[in-house]
Amino acid sequence: MIAYLGLASAAVVTIAGIGLAVFGVSSSAAPGADDFGFIEGVWHSLMRAIDPGNLGGDEGWWLRILMLLVTLFGIFIVSILIGTITSGLEQRLGELRKGRTQVLEENHTLILGFSSKVFAIIGELIIANGNQKNPAIVILADRDKVEMDDEIRAKFPDLKNTRVICRRGNPIDLDHLKLALPNLARAIIVLAPELDQPDIYVIKSVLALTNNPDRKAEPFHIVAEIQDAKNLEAAALVGGNEAIYVLSDDLIARLTAQTCRQSGLSVVFTELLDFDGAEIYFAELPKLVGLRYQDALLRFQNSTIIGIACKSGQVLVNPAGDTCIQAGDQIIAISDDDDTITLTEHQFVPVEQSLISIKPSAARQPEKTLILGWNGRGATIVRELDAYVAAGSEIVVATDNEAHRSVLQALSSELKQQRLRFARGEITTRALLEALRPASFDHIIVLGDTALELQQADAKTLITLLHLRKIADLQNVRLNIVSEMQDIRNRQLAQIARADDFIVSDKLVSLMLSQLSENKLLDQVFRQLFSNEGSEICIRPASDYVKIGIPLNFYTVVAAASQRGETAIGYRKCALSDDKDQGFGVKVNPAKNDTVLFEARDQIIVLAEA
């Protein structure tokens, strides 16, 4: 319509210009005035068509009559043309606001779905993209584009050098999927929606990518979130070797079980999983070929070696000290950045052998664990604890739901090292908590009630933590508490409860998804670190490795841990365990030439077999 109206307007103006030139109409009624030429006539006619007010200045009836016709045409036709252009622009802007247009990006990170995890992922990717040129994040979700833009802008007023582009569409619809150009994305993150049976939508989204008839020939790099382990087999069939799945509930349960037994461990996990500070990198260094793993540990001043990624594809975390690095192998290192993984020039390693004091780890003693509340992750936590604790240990589960009694009785028959007891009562009541005598337990876990709305569940957890703090203050004891916060914004509120560690579900899962989207090889490393088989992160007394009260460098600590078949990656100063600004006393990947003085309660963070 715009084209036709434009042509009609041009034709009338041109005809009027020809008429002015052919019939010798003058530009003024005064004698001797020049006649209109063709160009001047077209311009004169165009001005009358656009602005009828110009008609009042014309002199001479032939000119007035001709210009009146042109003006009348302009009132109807040109006005329609202008109105059509305006409405077309408004319609186009409306479509842009709806997010139904195709993005113009390549080598971007594509996020399919929009949940509370998306903000933590965006925050981590912004940090990871700091040294990249023109990075972009594209989000495709079945939500209003303007709402997504507003929420992201409110969370991140400064995106630094990263651009975030939102589009509205269903990730399982092939036509909608084209809007985000998945074939040009360097990584794709699939989030579980906040709906019933979210795994179905995740599997369908992965299927829409891998079985798309218009897909690229090269394999995708897909990282997806699965909540129920029962759906993992079906998801693996759909994703093949193109998709890596993060079992969110299983991950949180495992980390909760490990963290409750070792105060400060959640800080270590967070440090390794986020992009701010020390991270895990892979690097191939030919100068290390032929060197033993235990010798390679001492060849880096500002990085910490934790394993070897073999050329064959096998990943070894904390391998035997005499493992030889072969040509084509990559070292796995904790470092501030990939360009900081550099060998020291000097061959002399300043290990202070006289300060090494190796002691065998103390025999494990029976432990008592109190679990307040219950959800779908509870059974995994109990089973995971059973793989760590000594025989004769005990677990008490307190919940107000009588239906959980039968579930716990069935679970009790599976346990080998622990005895499980059920306590009925509302965990937010002070009377129940005092009756349970929390100071008599070695570990306390507060689980969120997933049957409640997210903020209500976190509020229930906060009330329980506040009661526990009051009981601890009155009895002048320190409780080892791990609490599960479902909303990261509530973590700061929970810190007033003085809990030793906090497991924030969405945060940790988001960090894992972000890390895997940057490097697929990390999947094998994380599987070993977060499993009860093989080497894992342990926090042990510093006195088991070195002499206490004498300044020494971290080279000495690394050498001492190596003699025990372990890899030292940091330490914890217990005097700073309540200081948030000091990382709760946890220092991962310290410079090995820095001098540190360990006190009696300080600890060493190592990779070891539990």
- Rounded to the nearest 5°, which phi and psi values hold at 444? -130, 130
Given a contact cutoff of 8 angstroms between Cβ atoms, the answer to whether 235 and 203 are in contact is yes
Angle at which helices 117-128 and 145-155 pack, to 10 degrees?
60
Q: Which residues of 143-154 are buried (b: 16+ CB within 10 A; e: fewer)?
A: bebeebbeebee
Residue 442's pLDDT is what? 93
Report residue 456 as tokens.
């209500």
Q: Given 55, 77, 98, which residue is the final one in a domain?
A: 98
Considering the domain architecture, whether residues 9 and 76 belong to the same structural domain is answered as: yes
Q: How far is CA 273 from CA 187, 526, 529, in A?
A: 18, 9, 12
Residue 52's pLDDT is what? 60
Q: Give the CATH number for residue 6.
A: 1.10.287
Considering the domain architecture, whether residues 535 and 466 belong to the same structural domain is answered as: no
Residue 264's pLDDT is what? 83
Residue 403's pLDDT is what? 87
Quick check: 32 pLDDT over 60?
no
Q: Given 190, 216, 251, which residue is the final one in a domain?
A: 251
- Per the model's pLDDT, the better-predicted residue between 494 and 190 turns out to be 190
Torsion 329-331-336-341 (CA) sign: negative
Given a contact cutoff of 8 angstroms between Cβ atoms, the answer to whether 205 and 171 are in contact is yes
Query: What pLDDT digit, counting tens, does each position of 203-212 carry?
Result: 999 999 999 9
Residue 346's pLDDT is what? 67
Considering the domain architecture, whether residues 482 and 396 belong to the same structural domain is answered as: yes
Considering the domain architecture, whether residues 92 and 119 belong to the same structural domain is answered as: no
Residue 31's pLDDT is what? 45
- Per the model's pLDDT, the better-predicted residue between 496 and 145 turns out to be 145
Residue 27's pLDDT is what? 55
Give a yes or no: residue 30 inside a domain.
yes
The chain-wide mean pLDDT, for the chain, equals 86
Q: What is the share, in percent, of the chain residues with pLDDT greater than 90? A: 53
Residue 39's pLDDT is what? 75
Least reliable range by pLDDT among 8-12, 228-232, 273-277: 8-12
Question: What is the distance, to the nearest Å, from the Cα of residue 343 to the centroid of all Cα atoms in its chain?
Answer: 31
Q: Given 98, 123, 145, which residue is the final one in a domain?
A: 98
Please, which residues have CB within 8 angstroms of residue 279's CB and are 6 or more apart in sequence? Answer: 272, 334, 335, 336, 337, 515
Residue 43's pLDDT is what? 75
Confidence of residue 58 (pLDDT cuts 50, 70, 90): low
Considering the domain architecture, whether residues 131 and 242 belong to the same structural domain is answered as: yes
Residue 525, SS3?
A: helix
Given a contact cutoff of 8 angstroms between Cβ atoms, the answer to whether 72 and 49 are in contact is no
- Rounded to the nearest 5°, which phi and psi values hold at 525? -65, -45
Least reliable range by pLDDT among 250-259, 477-486, 501-510: 501-510
Residue 469's pLDDT is what? 87
Residue 494's pLDDT is what? 66
Least reliable range by pLDDT among 232-236, 445-449, 482-486: 482-486
Considering the domain architecture, whether residues 351 and 414 belong to the same structural domain is answered as: no
Quick check: 595 pLDDT over 80?
yes
- Per the model's pLDDT, the better-predicted residue between 323 and 338 turns out to be 323
Give a yes or no: residue 148 inside a domain.
yes
Report d(CA 460, CA 497) in Å as an integer. 13
Residue 357, SS3?
A: coil
- Give the chain's end-to-end CA distance (angstroms, integer): 76
Least reliable range by pLDDT among 336-345, 351-360, 546-555, 564-573: 336-345
Alpha-carbon dihedral 198, 200, 201, 202, rounded to 10 degrees: 90
Residue 64's pLDDT is what? 65
Quick check: 29 pLDDT over 50?
no
Quick check: 48 pLDDT over 60?
yes
Q: Give the CATH number for residue 284.
A: 3.30.70.1450
Give the total number of structural domains in the chain. Answer: 4
Average confidence (pLDDT) over 415-430: 93
Average confidence (pLDDT) over 422-441: 94
Considering the domain architecture, whether residues 159 and 64 belong to the same structural domain is answered as: no
Find the domain containing 175 and state its range.
109-251
Quick check: 429 pLDDT over 90?
yes
Confidence of residue 60 (pLDDT cuts 50, 70, 90): low
Quick check: 562 pLDDT over 90?
yes
Residue 356's pLDDT is what? 92
Question: What is the distance, to the nearest Å, from the Cα of residue 294 to the centroid of all Cα atoms in its chain?
Answer: 34
Quick check: 590 pLDDT over 90?
yes
- DSSP states of 176-233: HHGGG-GGG-SEEEEPPPSSSSHHHHHHHHHHHHHT-TT--SSPP-EEEEE--GGGHH
Report d(CA 154, CA 363) in Å as an integer. 52
Give a yes or no: residue 505 inside a domain.
no
- Rounded to the nearest 5°, which phi and psi values hold at 204? -65, -35
Give a yes or no: residue 103 inside a domain.
no
Give a yes or no: residue 563 inside a domain.
yes
Least reliable range by pLDDT among 13-27, 467-481, 489-503: 489-503
Residue 596's pLDDT is what? 93
Give a yes or no: residue 374 inside a domain.
yes
Considering the domain architecture, whether residues 598 and 533 belong to the same structural domain is answered as: yes
Given a contact cutoff of 8 angstroms between Cβ atoms, the answer to whether 373 and 447 are in contact is yes
Give a yes or no: residue 81 inside a domain.
yes
Considering the domain architecture, whether residues 427 and 470 belong to the same structural domain is answered as: yes
Quick check: 30 pLDDT over 50?
no
Considering the domain architecture, whether residues 594 and 471 belong to the same structural domain is answered as: no
Give a yes or no: residue 43 inside a domain.
yes
Q: Which amino acid is at 483?
A: S
Considering the domain architecture, whether residues 114 and 163 belong to the same structural domain is answered as: yes
Quick check: 19 pLDDT over 60?
yes
Considering the domain architecture, whether residues 164 and 274 belong to the same structural domain is answered as: no
Q: Give the CATH number for residue 133.
A: 3.40.50.720
Q: What is the model's pTM?
A: 0.81
Average confidence (pLDDT) over 33-44: 67
Report d(CA 416, CA 268) in Å as an integer. 29
Quick check: 3 pLDDT over 80?
no
Query: What pLDDT digit, counting tens, does each position of 403-414 carry?
Result: 888 899 999 999
